[in-house]
Amino acid sequence: MRYLLPVLILVALLAMLMLRGYVHSEILADHRVRPPAPTHQVPEEILNGGPVIDARDKAAPKALSIPDRRLVLTFDDGPDPVWTPKVLDQLKQYDAHAVFFVTGTMTSRHPELVERMVREGHEVGLHTFNHPDLSYQSTARIDWELSQNQLALAGAAGIHTSLFRPPYSSFSDALDDKSWPVTQYIGSRGYITAFNNTDSEDWKRPGVDAIIKQATPKGTSGSIVLMHDSGGNRSQTVEALGRFLPQMKARGYRFTNLTEALDAPSAHTKVTGPELWKGKAFVSAVAFSENTTEVLVVGLAAIGVLVFARFGLMLVLSFAHARKVRRRGFSWGPAVTRPVSVLVPAYNERECIANTVRSLTASDHPIEVVVIDDGSTDGTADIVEAMLLPGVRVLRQPNSGKPAALNNGIRNARYDIVVMMDGDTVFEPSTVRELVQPFGDMRVGAVAGNAKVGNRDSLIGAWQHIEYVMGFNLDRRMYDLLGCMPTIPGAVGAFRRQALDRVGGMSEDTLAEDTDITMAIHRDGWRVVYAERARAWTEAPETVQQLWSQRYRWSYGTMQAIWKHRGALVERGPSGRFGRVGLPLVSLFMVLAPLLAPLIDVFLLYGLVFGPTQKTIAAWLGVLAIQLVCAAYAFRLDRERMLHLISLPLQQLLYRQLMYVVLLQSWITALTGGRLRWQKLRRTGAVEAPGVIPSPRRSSEDRRPVA
């Protein structure tokens, strides 16, 4: 289910967009209009007859006329949610009936209006589903247009109709050798085709007086009058009806349905059984698609505004943070020169542990190194002990998990400042010194370092490198100034031991113990800050499966931590300040917003295929440009080469989808009450820090340089 559900959601989303595009004439629409053709094949009695063509008998087609003093008002292209109700109100006020030739697209989107037409005694006819010029279409497409139009009509009003008007039609004498075969075929399918012989030309919006003049037949002649209740602003049509209806009634005219004027049986046939339920299901699906898509578009727009606002806030606050900590004479307080304890929890880290410990012994700050072997089975502890390095101790314990290993290290640490790192990470000589300087401010309880991807020479490594520099470190600058840093990275972080003791040490309640402890320290009233020069080089996952496992644990652990500390939302003091600023930011941008990430690409794909392609590409490039600016600024702050930003467009298309599936899996695990255990990633030990003496255990061919 964890693999199937994300795929099903994406397929359902794409299906909803396709259905919406279909009923908005963006998919399968054909807007070609054929120019006039010769009329040699059209019978004279048709060209010279009335506006109603009954071609159900192919051998003897008939042209029917409307009797004197009868007017059949017809309205095309609706129903429209704005103008159709106003037209119906005018007809109801003057007790007049009319014929509405509706399209399937509008009927399926506004079924309540068609139901009102039928309920108030008006007649409904087909005007095709997508409004194409049928002279361009095959008989299969014509059948499809008719059947889909009838399907929508059944779902909206529970009826079928035998009346039809072709799109782009005019008077019956305009039939030609291209449109006459279509009229014959329509007749063979059991339909009567209704043209008109009085065109109000209201679609031109010539003014109310002109509409009334053009809609008025000569003398007492009966007529079919063409008007429109959709397709644009129909205010002139509505106003004209308010004058036209009483004027013509005063002249003795009756406004009737078409079949009533012809003294024929009603065109409506009641639909029951499967056909009725199919129609209702189709209309319901359209309504669900419309409503869901509108909600998604609104949600995406809201998230988009928030994301852009966040980008702007990140840029401004990151600039302010860099300016603050880089100005001449800046200090956190008295220089911190006393020794600190560095804890290295390790489980089966034989490939990396030697590089990690060796990088620490090169530190220019006095330290003790405590390696906590968490029941390794690959000889990790033996490797460290065999190195015989001064100031390095090994603690062995049964396999109990990383939080237990860190708590064991805290209990055995000799100093009041504790630095924590991962067993696959290496420090530069200055990392510890830079990391502990903020503790010169006695209000600081924890410090986040600058974690960097060491193995960035692969595509997936480059993507994570961009994410670390832009998504993590730029964020930390912003969170530092806002006073709500959500996570001290496990790869490089430092804690005041007093702060750890006050919150009970590392908790085993969540899989994101680094996020959990950071939130707890915030709630206890300590400051948590970011030290940009405290660089650590970590080995990022090198395969999609490894990345999946890591991010699955991160996202699920973050959800656990947010839920655990939810009480901060209603508390007072430092806990409440963090709860009302930090928790909403983390929830919005790390848990909720990424779930909408696929919408960007689904709408992009839809726009490229069915929508305004150029505008879609321009919009996507605009968003990409904003992200590129933020990424370039983040790279500049971290003094990183811009070369890796070449892969940013591909990262946005592919990497985001992977993170979406991971996050959705985390949601499923959380909502179903599932449990997720620690997953051990395979390491190569290829990462080394600049300035550290290379390990003699690895050849230059195996080592992957990072600078």
Active site residue 228: yes
The pLDDT, as a whole number, for residue 687 is 62
pLDDT digits (tens, 9 = 90+) for 232-255: 999 999 999 999 999 999 999 999
pLDDT digits (tens, 9 = 90+) for 148-188: 999 999 999 999 999 999 999 889 999 999 999 999 999 99
The pLDDT, as a whole number, for residue 28 is 82
In order of 406, 454, 638, 705, the CA distances from 539 in angstroms are 20, 6, 18, 12
Q: How would residue 647 be classed by pLDDT, with cut points 50, 70 and 90?
A: confident
Is 267 buried (19+), middle (13-18) or exposed (0-12) by CB count in 10 A? buried
The pLDDT, as a whole number, for residue 361 is 93
- The answer to whether 135 touches 114, Cβ cutoff 8 Å, is no
Which H or E element spans position 657?
helix 656-671
pLDDT digits (tens, 9 = 90+) for 88-123: 999 999 999 999 999 999 999 999 999 999 999 999
Alpha helices by DSSP H, listed for 327-452, are: 353-361, 380-387, 402-412, 431-436
Please, what is the average pLDDT of the chain? 89
614 contact partners, CB below 8 Å, separation of at least 6:
none
- The answer to whether 478 touches 318, Cβ cutoff 8 Å, is yes
Q: 138-147, 192-201, 517-526, 532-541: which range is least confident on average?
A: 532-541
pLDDT digits (tens, 9 = 90+) for 466-507: 888 887 878 899 999 999 999 999 999 999 999 999 999 999
Catalytic residue among 76, 80, 422, 514: 76
Active site residue 209: no
Q: 82-86, 233-237, 306-310, 630-634: which range is least confident on average?
A: 306-310
Alpha helices by DSSP H, listed for 565-612, are: 573-586, 597-609
Residue 696 reports pLDDT greater than 50? no
Residue 34 reports pLDDT greater than 60? yes
DSSP 221: -
Catalytic residue among 110, 228, 522, 644: 228
Residue 33 CA neighbour count, 13 Å, CB half: 7
Place of tokens 């995406």: 300
In order of 193, 515, 588, 607, the CA distances from 562 in angstroms are 65, 9, 11, 36
Q: How would residue 324 be classed by pLDDT, with cut points 50, 70 and 90?
A: very high
